[in-house]
Amino acid sequence: MMRHAGQKTRKIRRGRGGRAGRRWVKTVTTDSTFPPKGLFTRDAQTIARALASKRVSPKGAGSGLRMLSFFINRAGHQLSASRRAELERAKRLMKTRLARARRHTSRSTH
């Protein structure tokens, strides 16, 4: 591109891969787990309990925690402050459960 003296260049902002306005997260799908419809609109304890269950997260609570983080990141700025706070509370509950389960497992194996 040729510039003349005193002329500014225009910079076009693009995401990774050069696809403006598209995000990789939109294309992510999963066949292994399906949380119940409307789960993420419930209270923190219900969310944590459901995502930790084997029916929703066959690979364990860690998988449910990743699912919750993915949902929070995917929703982005569209989440209200109160909803985000409730989801973060569910995340803390799940982390506590996961840590407790790991402590319990490490004691029983030694």
Residue 17, in any domain of the structure: no
**Distance between CA 33 and CA 50 in Å, rounded?**
12
Written as tens digits, the pLDDT of the chain (110 aa) is: 555 565 566 555 555 555 566 777 667 666 556 788 999 999 999 999 999 988 888 888 888 999 999 999 999 899 999 999 999 999 999 999 888 888 877 766 55
Range(s) of the domain holding residue 56: 39-109
**Beta carbons of 14 and 20 less than 8 angstroms apart:** yes
Residue 30, in any domain of the structure: no
Residue 26, in any domain of the structure: no
Residue 78, in any domain of the structure: yes
**Beta carbons of 66 and 33 less than 8 angstroms apart:** no
Provide the domain count of the chain.
1
Residue 24, in any domain of the structure: no
Residue 91, in any domain of the structure: yes
Enumerate the H helices of 8-76 as residue ranges.
Answer: 44-52, 61-75
Residue 46, in any domain of the structure: yes
Q: Is 33 helix (H, G, I), strand (E, B) or coil?
A: coil
* Paired tokens of 77: 């700025």
- pLDDT of 72 reads 94
